[in-house]
Amino acid sequence: MANALTRFGKFVAGGLSARSFQGVTAEEFMGLTRQQRTSTTVTEATALRNSAVWACLRLRADLISTFPCDVYRKVGDVRVEVPKPQVLVEPGGPRWDYQDWMYASQFDLDRSGNDLGLVLERDGSNRPALIELVALGDWSVVEKADTGEIKYRVRGKEYTPDQVWHERQYVVAGCPVGLSPVAHAAWVISEGLSIQQFAQQWFSQGAVPSAHLRNTQKTVPPKTALEVKERFKASVQVGDPFVSGSDWEYNPLRAEAMGSEWLNAREASLADIARFFGVPADLIDAAVSGQSITYANITQRNLQFLIMNLGPAVSRREKNLSKLTAKPRYVKLNTNSLLRMDPKTRAETYKIMIDARIKTNTEVRALEDDKPLTQAQVDEFETIYGPVKAPPVKAVS
């Protein structure tokens, strides 16, 4: 991977005709390499070893990729659903249906701020009909300094903007690619990876000695110390007793206190990572000890997550996917599954809607995938509860 000072024209003095941007290294746009910022190298690949990074990316991609995708158009003031084009059924072909394609593209968007694909086919209206997603490390964006013209370089070959599908988020002025949360969270991700690495070395007895065998009576020459060490190890490894005089003392070194500090530091870093990826820490089981947030029900919790965290990403995807349809058609992702209520709350909501004349009994049953009431069911209800009373009619003065 090229050094930031040679890849971005704005950081190099003298006569460059173009600036090169790569979607996976937006941190280099800040003028620093990862090696300068972190003790443990952090890339989009190594970041996935951190459980908080993986959990955040998985949660967001899981949800957005499973929201049903519907296409609508306005007829007067009424929204009418219309058939989806094939590109919204199998965007990447038979091997990449909508759900897989959306998961992969959202995963890339959330970790690098960008996803890119090659437009392999177009429909009769010249809209993309087949989009092959490209791995993050296989593409970059080149901007000519004098004209501002942008081209994409994919696996060594140049493409014009009309030949690619490019979605981005976390955008800033002057940069044609979105910023990478992984790059900007590199410090805190590096901290977590360093803790994991050090703990692994500690508990595998590679970071510090596992025990201290000390002679309490005299100073032991190096050669003698080595012989005693080998005798001790040979006895311990096969389970035999080790025989010594009263001058030898054995002290195992324990790591309980250090382990507690590691766990505390790791919990704090997990919560920090969740903030970078726009996911509440409690949703990935990374809530900091002592913090407590309570909600009336799961629906209220999910509603806050949808509005404050996931909603903007959903809106951006809807805007971009709408470009694959003919105007004035547009795409909506159905987020109702995230707001699924518990049975008691759902029943109370339906009753309010029926009593307020917002929906009919038949419409509510359809929401529950139930068929309309049969005449036999209506008769049974009237037998038990009596006939339905009509609302009172106000007298006309």
Q: What is the mean pLDDT of residues 166-192?
A: 82
DSSP-derived 3-state class of residue 297 = coil
Q: What is the Cα–Cα distance from 195 to 21, expressed in whole angstroms?
A: 32
* pLDDT tier for residue 97 given thresholds of 50, 70 and 90: very high
pLDDT at 378: 85
Report the alpha-carbon angle 127-130-133, nearest 5. 120
pLDDT at 27: 41
Instruction: Kindly state the tokens that stand for 218.
Output: 């005299």
Q: What is the Cα–Cα distance from 48 to 394, expressed in whole angstroms?
A: 66
Q: What is the mean pLDDT of residues 232-257?
A: 60
Phi, psi dihedrals of residue 75, rounded to the nearest 5°: -115, 100
User: Are 114 and 178 spatial neighbours (Cβ–Cβ below 8 Å)?
Assistant: yes
User: Looking at per-residue confidence, does 242 or 59 come out higher?
Assistant: 59
Q: What is the pTM of this model?
A: 0.68
Lowest model confidence (mean pLDDT) among 184-193, 270-279, 317-326:
184-193
Helix (H) or strand (E) holding 316: helix 311-321
Instruction: Kindly state the tokens that stand for 100.
Output: 């897989």
- Whether 288 shows a pLDDT value over 70: the answer reads no
pLDDT at 390: 63
Q: What is the mean pLDDT of residues 20-44?
A: 49
User: Are 73 and 80 spatial neighbours (Cβ–Cβ below 8 Å)?
Assistant: yes
Q: What is the Cα–Cα distance from 372 to 165, expressed in whole angstroms?
A: 45
pLDDT at 244: 66
pLDDT at 279: 92
pLDDT in tens, 219-241: 767 777 777 777 767 766 655 66
pLDDT in tens, 190-207: 665 565 555 555 455 444
Q: What is the mean pLDDT of residues 307-327?
A: 94
Q: What is the mean pLDDT of residues 318-335?
A: 95
- Whether 76 shows a pLDDT value over 70: the answer reads yes
- Whether 92 shows a pLDDT value over 90: the answer reads yes
Q: Find, among 124, 215, 169, the residue nearest to 26 by Cα.
A: 169
pLDDT in tens, 102-152: 999 999 999 999 999 999 999 999 999 999 999 988 999 988 878 888 999
Integer-rounded Cα Rg, in Å, for the chain is 31
pLDDT at 118: 97
CB neighbour list of residue 258: distance below 8 Å, 6 or more residues apart: 202
Helix (H) or strand (E) holding 233: helix 222-238
pLDDT at 204: 55
Q: What is the Cα–Cα distance from 382 to 177, expressed in whole angstroms?
A: 64
